[in-house]
Amino acid sequence: MTAALHAQATCLHCSLPVPAGRRSAFCCAGCEVVHDAIAGYGLDQYYALRDAAAPAPAQTTAYDYAELGDPAFQRLHVRTDPDGTAHTALYLEDLRCTACVWLVESAPRCLAGVTEVRVDLGRSRADVAWDPAATSLPVIARYLDRIGHPVHPYRGLARDALRRREDRSLLIKLGVAGAAAGNLMLLAIALYAGLFGGMSRADTGFFRWASMAVALPALGFAATPFFRTAFGALRARRLHLDLPLSIGILAGLVWGTANVIRGVGEIYFDSLAMLVFLLLAARWIVLRYQRRASTAAELLLSLTPSRAHRIAAGSGQPGDPASDVAIDVPIEALVPGDLVRVLVGEVIPVDGDVVTGISAIDAGLLTGESQPVEVAPGARVHAGTVNVAAPLAIRATAVGFVTRVGRLVAGIEALSTKAPIERLVDRIAGRFVAVVSSIAVLTLFGWSLTSVAAGAEHAMALLIVTCPCALALATPLAVTVALGRAARRGVLIKGADALERLATPGTLFIDKTGTLTAGKLAVVTWRGDLDAAGLASAAEAGSSHPIARALRAHASPSGSARDVREELGRGISAIAGGHSVLVGSPPWVRRRSRTYPVIEGWIAELVERGETPIAVAVDGAMVAVAGLADPIRDDAARALGALGRLGWVVHLLSGDDERVVRRVGAALGIPWSRCHGQVSPEDKALAVVAARAEGTVVMVGDGVNDAAAMAAASASIAVSGAAEIAIEAADVYLRSPSISEVAATAAGAQATLATIRRNLRFSLAYNLVAGALAVTGLIHPLIAAAVMPVSSLTVLASSLRSKAFRERARPEQAQEHV
Amino acid sequence: MTILYLILPLALVFAGAAVAAFAWTVRSGQLDDVETPPRRILFDDERAEAARPPGSFAGDAQSPRPQR
């Protein structure tokens, strides 16, 4: 009974089950810390407010956020009011529910000096105001961290302000158009009723004047975005869908005004207002979806580390973690000549020379090389690479934009030759304008044979009723549905253009690292004594080298090791399980033990296959060889098959060793001629430019080395874990770094284009019918008022039925958090 | 029906006032974030007094190794 109760115990903080054997009311230490902090501040109401759903263990980092107090950071991100109050925006992790909002906004009650905290849940953002004399930003950040919301500086505030202005202006126009449409419809109903029931001429005239008084100012204001684009397109001698729209709206307003003044003839103000309202609504929805996708991408940028540990001058032996004093500063504060400490697993923030420490550097993001490179004092290291083995002290030679990464990034702007594609609807719009205006002229002259007034009446009616409202809605609605569904499964698409480019199959370049492979070294082959795997694992137990991690993942250690001696870049020796064990590169092990022809054969075989051989010797004799490589993802072959069926030609384009690339290609059935290894970032971009001559080129990448190629491609896809610059260069960002999501994105883009085409057919059919009625003089404003909304609704229904991104993502992908 | 000549302009003035009010709400930023404010109304003010007085934050002394 007790056992059963115990098994059901749930964490007091997050409601997840408490692991068996843990003698605590909490599932983890993080939850306990956060719960204590919340209770300690008297904020227990949090637990009453909280949604029962969405449990997740608390996150708290105990990080000190010293860099947020640095003058360089304050200058960039903190705004000070005349009265001395400081403001900044922070990005908070784990903001999920009402209770989180309450907890964070309660900060002024618990923290002296904090004036106000306002949370924006949709953007995971908090605006903080505080009195710099009473408290400081690092203190506030530590507080927020302790209550379970780790903090990151929110970048892109300037962009935010610009967008907000744009959003507000469009929203006001939408409101004005909506109000006008509603009121005009009421007036129109009175007029139609009068038409059938009889109404005095004076009353009719009054209603017509009232309609005009509402329509002219309201539509003149609300439709300005269309007029402006149409005018701009005319001046640039381009075709744009806003041109026929503007012609229809203007013709309606002018003709309606003329008829009101004349006192005879039809007015179309109500239909026009409804049309403008629907068009603005579609624009508003599309804008919201695009904002959401780009906000999500920007949050990822905010998550990338922005701090460095600068070693204070003259603080003892440089680089020795025990004696020197490192203070955290924002990267912006570093200057050449600074001494920087880089801990294991951290990204090197500067270009520079190693002063102390022997370690391995993973330059994968910069060069595409998947194997770590050993570095020793004197070696040159580059910003953007990852320190994987041991702490380093680095003397900065270049910082910021003059680092190799910075120069690569600058080069991207020059390569970004993405001309705005001529959209399908714009091409149709061009023909549409030509056809409709020539039919209008024919109508005018045809009817003029009987009466000039009738000719003008019918020609104007044609221009107005064929105003391509449904045509204008066809693309935005289909794209919005696709973007929304894609975002839900973790595919962030930055715009409609990207979808259109992805829909035409062409060449697909894949940077192998990270998309086709798991992205981590693993033991893929083991030759020889199986028991040696456990001994090797035991010997490597204390090392953080990637090879050691791979060996530990391969087999659980048999016994514990002592007398461990690690020679970086060579191997490790230890006494494990009562045996002397050597694990390391074959030449190093060979020098210290006996070898056999069969083992040398295995080593040669592994090298031939592009795997890294690691020899294991037990008691002075080599007994086994492990082949290490980046294993292929389970879903890669299936996804490549799906891409092939869609019509894509897949190439591997990697900075990795030629043999490694071919090994991956062979395992996935990609011909040798399409596997390119050891490609420099510059050559990648050239390959993309060359392939663009033959059609669509899509680049899938994750590293700084891919960014130039991604900018040069017709469309580019960045995958989860990608470098900041790659995310920025990409049109699509995948939250899960798997190739099957690339295939799903391509398929979704094609399905979206199919929906757009179907929508266009629907709306053109409507225009054909309405146009025919207008030409023959059978159109009536009542029919026009009915046909326009019905055509738009048909397009809406057709968009919602789209197959794009319909199938659900697998649960583990849906779970993945930003 | 002459009353229409008074009522209709009056109604349009009201409509204009509503549109102006809407424009004001947008310009003053009340519609920038439509997700968080509906949740704020759930907050209870009563427990506010129970919270500790400002200035009791003691977490400043402990800032272990910046391992992130």
For A321-345, write each residue's pLDDT tens digit: 455 677 777 777 788 888 888 887 7
pLDDT digits (tens, 9 = 90+) for A446-459: 888 888 888 888 88
Looking at residue A117, the DSSP 8-state letter turns out to be E
Q: Taking all residues of chain A, what is their mean pLDDT, rounded to a whole number?
A: 80
pLDDT exceeds 90 at position A175:
yes
For residue A322, give both structure tokens: 């025990």
Contact B33 A309 (CB under 8 A): no
Per-residue pLDDT band for B45 (boundaries 50, 70, 90) equals low
Which residue of B lies nearest to A306 if distances are taken between CA atoms? B68
Complex confidence, ipTM: 0.72
Q: What is the pLDDT of residue A527?
A: 87
Q: Taking all residues of chain B, what is their mean pLDDT, rounded to a whole number?
A: 72
pLDDT digits (tens, 9 = 90+) for A533-587: 888 888 888 777 778 888 888 888 877 778 888 776 678 888 888 888 889 888 8
User: Which of A150-154, A201-205, A412-416, B47-51 has the least mean pLDDT?
Assistant: B47-51
Contact A305 B68 (CB under 8 A): yes
What is the phi/psi pair of residue A581, to 5°?
-120, 135
Contact B59 A120 (CB under 8 A): no
For residues A643-653, give the mean pLDDT: 89
pLDDT exceeds 80 at position A413:
no
Distance CA(A137)–CA(A139), nearest Å, equals 5
Q: Which residues of A touch B63 (CB under 8 A)?
A: 62-64, 66, 142
Higher pLDDT among residues A781 and A128, named by residue: A128
Per-residue pLDDT band for A55 (boundaries 50, 70, 90) equals low
Contact A183 B63 (CB under 8 A): no
C-alpha Rg value of chain A to the nearest Å = 33
Nearest CA to A260 out of A202, A212, A220, A216 is that of A212
| Nearest CB neighbour to B36, from listed A101, A175, A343 | A101
What is the phi/psi pair of residue A594, to 5°?
-80, 150
pLDDT exceeds 80 at position A6:
no
| Nearest CB neighbour to A109, from listed B40, B51, B63 | B51
Contact A210 B29 (CB under 8 A): no
Nearest CA to B66 out of A350, A68, A91 is that of A68
Distance CA(A241)–CA(A283), nearest Å, equals 13
Contact B32 A64 (CB under 8 A): no
User: Which of A420-424, A429-433, A625-629 has the least mean pLDDT?
Assistant: A420-424
Contact A119 B4 (CB under 8 A): no
Distance CA(A223)–CA(A280), nearest Å, equals 8
Percentage of the residues of chain A whose pLDDT score is greater than 70: 86
Looking at residue A443, the DSSP 8-state letter turns out to be H
Count how many pairs of residues, chain A against chain B, have C-beta atoms within 8 Å: 124
Amino acid at A538: A
Percentage of the residues of chain A whose pLDDT score is greater than 90: 7
Is there a contact between A537 and A557 (Cβ–Cβ < 8 Å)?
yes
| Nearest CB neighbour to A121, from listed B15, B23, B36 | B36
pLDDT exceeds 70 at position A807:
no
| Nearest CB neighbour to B26, from listed A113, A172, A200 | A172
Q: How far is A469 from chain B (nearest CA, A)?
A: 24
Q: What is the pLDDT of residue B24?
A: 95
Q: Which of A42-51, A434-443, A701-710 is the most confident on average? A: A434-443
For residue A375, give both structure tokens: 């570095």
Q: How far is A176 from chain B (nearest CA, A)?
A: 6
Distance CA(A311)–CA(A300), nearest Å, equals 28
Which residue of A lies nearest to B33 if distances are taken between CA atoms? A120
Is there a contact between A735 and A492 (Cβ–Cβ < 8 Å)?
yes
Which residue of B lies nearest to A343 if distances are taken between CA atoms? B67
What is the phi/psi pair of residue A342, to 5°?
-120, 115
Contact B66 A98 (CB under 8 A): no
For residues A363-389, give the mean pLDDT: 76
Residues 6 or more apart whose CB falls under 8 angstroms from that of A776 comprise none
CA A21: distance to chain centroid?
40
**Going by DSSP bridges, is the β-strand pair A715-719/A732-734 parallel, antiparallel, or unpaired?**
parallel
Q: How far is B23 from chain A (nearest CA, A)?
A: 6
Q: Which residues of B touch A62 (CB under 8 A)?
A: 62-64
Which residue of A lies nearest to B18 if distances are taken between CA atoms? A179
Distance CA(A242)–CA(A229), nearest Å, equals 6
| Alpha-carbon distances, residue A179 vs A185, A218, A450, A704, B21 (angstroms) | 10, 9, 41, 50, 12
Residues 6 or more apart whose CB falls under 8 angstroms from that of A5 comprise none
Preferred mutation among A33, A63, A174 to probe B, highest tally of B CBs within 10 A? A63
Q: Which residues of B touch A98 (CB under 8 A)?
A: 39, 42
Threshold 0.95, pTM exceeds:
no
Positions of A annotated as catalytic residues are 511
Contact A64 B56 (CB under 8 A): no
DSSP string, A18-48: PPTT--SSSSSHHHHHHHHHHHHTT-THHHH
pLDDT digits (tens, 9 = 90+) for A190-237: 888 887 777 788 888 899 999 999 999 999 999 999 999 889 888 888
Per-residue pLDDT band for A293 (boundaries 50, 70, 90) equals low
For residues A714-743, give the mean pLDDT: 78
